[in-house]
Amino acid sequence: MGIEVVVEGLTMSFGKQNIWQDVTLTLPAGEVSVMLGPSGTGKTVFLKSLIGLLKPQQGRVLINGVDMVGGAERDIYETRKLFGLMFQDGALFGSMTLFDNIAFPLREHTRKRESEIRRIVMERIDLVGLLGAEGKLPGEISGGMRKRAGLARALVLDPQIVLCDEPDSGLDPVRTAYLSQLLIDLNARIDATMLIVTHNLDIAATVPDNMGMFFRRNLVTFGPREVLLTSDEPVVTQFLAGRREGPIGMSEEKDAALLAAELVDPANHRTAGPPVIVPQLEPSPGLPPRAAVARRRERVLGMLDSLPPAARAAIRDTYARAAAAPTLSVPRPGSGS
């Protein structure tokens, strides 16, 4: 099972530029979380802060009692081994085959025999659907295959926390759909805590248990997916609808005068019905149920009274529909069904 990640009062600046401030959230153990936000809001910086590659000026990131911000370097180094990190571009070595790219962390950080390394690498290659491509170079395969190879490499050290930095970038909608299913299937198989940074609204709507969003140097919200998907925060509704009208501008946020002009423009007054919560993806047939689902249900129902009314209603509706769904019977061998 994955490990809980506790973030307390994290503040990050580069010189005089404040990236985000006072970020506090908890990534629940074994659940899948997504972080959204316009470009330039520091989502990748946040990932690198969790793993201790960047040092925020204030706050803590607690993993198994180790502070990844201010803890001893030896403890941070050891705790970093609990992570698997999937970079935007896969970050593969161009002169190495996919097999050697995926084997690299095992050869660098363990003393395993080559026979054991081969077994582990081929298992991960099979897990991400790349069997038969292990002898190819990164330049000989598609962008989607490179993404999956990067994911396989992130998994070879059996991480308990998996961080994915824009895994959908450069992929067409069909490959993105396959990737979304792969992420859910991965969580079903290894029960790791997962955080995915993305701009993709399809991934955001169908994959996570929890969702958050950065804007204007702050964490707008973080919690069960229903909280963000039913939010009436202007920046959230604008982002999820992909509209020009709202606080997000082309470069950064819009100024007060432009926002006021939008409010008095009749063309911007659209009638919107209640938000539709798209069902979360389930593991592919033949895989075990996600262990995170039962844990999340207990956790979310326990905090229900503290959530906004729209989120409470959406959560109740989701679980009511799940309870009413028919249970599929599996035919017995030889039954003729």
pLDDT tens digits, one per residue of 40-83 = 888 989 999 999 999 999 999 999 999 999 999 999 999 999 99
- Helix 114-127 with 98-109: angle, nearest 10 deg: 130
Radius of gyration of the chain (CA): 21
For the four alpha carbons of 132, 134, 136 and 139, in that order, the dihedral sign comes to positive
Per-residue pLDDT at 217 exceeds 80: yes
Output the pLDDT for position 213: 94
Which of the pair, 95 or 246, is modelled with greater confidence? 95
Give domain status of residue 102, yes or no: no
Sorting pLDDT into bands at 50, 70 and 90, what band is 271? Answer: very low
What is the arithmetic mean of pLDDT over 225-241? 91
Give domain status of residue 128, yes or no: no
Q: Residue 288 sits in which domain range?
A: 1-82+159-267+279-322
Sorting pLDDT into bands at 50, 70 and 90, what band is 251? Answer: low
- Distance (Å, rounded) from C-alpha 151 to C-alpha 159? 11
Give domain status of residue 131, yes or no: no
Inter-residue contact 167 to 183 (CB < 8 Å): yes
- Distance (Å, rounded) from C-alpha 162 to C-alpha 169? 17
What is the arithmetic mean of pLDDT over 130-140? 94
Which strand ranges, in their side-by-side order, compose the sheet holding 32-36?
Answer: 83-86, 161-165, 193-197, 32-36, 210-215, 218-224
Give domain status of residue 94, yes or no: no
Sorting pLDDT into bands at 50, 70 and 90, what band is 248? Answer: confident
For the four alpha carbons of 262, 264, 266 and 272, in that order, the dihedral sign comes to positive
Sorting pLDDT into bands at 50, 70 and 90, what band is 226? Answer: very high
Give domain status of residue 246, yes or no: yes
Give domain status of residue 30, yes or no: yes
The total of structural domains in the chain comes to 1
Output the pLDDT for position 269: 47
Structure tokens at 111: 């003393």
Q: Are strands 32-36 and 193-197 parallel, antiparallel or unpaired?
A: parallel
Give domain status of residue 223, yes or no: yes
- pTM across the whole model: 0.86
pLDDT tens digits, one per residue of 168-194 = 887 888 888 988 999 999 999 999 999
Structure tokens at 308: 């906004």
Output the pLDDT for position 268: 53
Q: What is the CATH number of the domain that holds 316?
A: 3.40.50.300
Q: Degrees (nearest 5) of the Cα angle 171, 282, 294?
A: 130
Output the pLDDT for position 90: 63
Per-residue pLDDT at 150 exceeds 50: yes
**Distance between start and end Cα atoms, the chain:** 36
Output the pLDDT for position 111: 92
Give domain status of residue 252, yes or no: yes
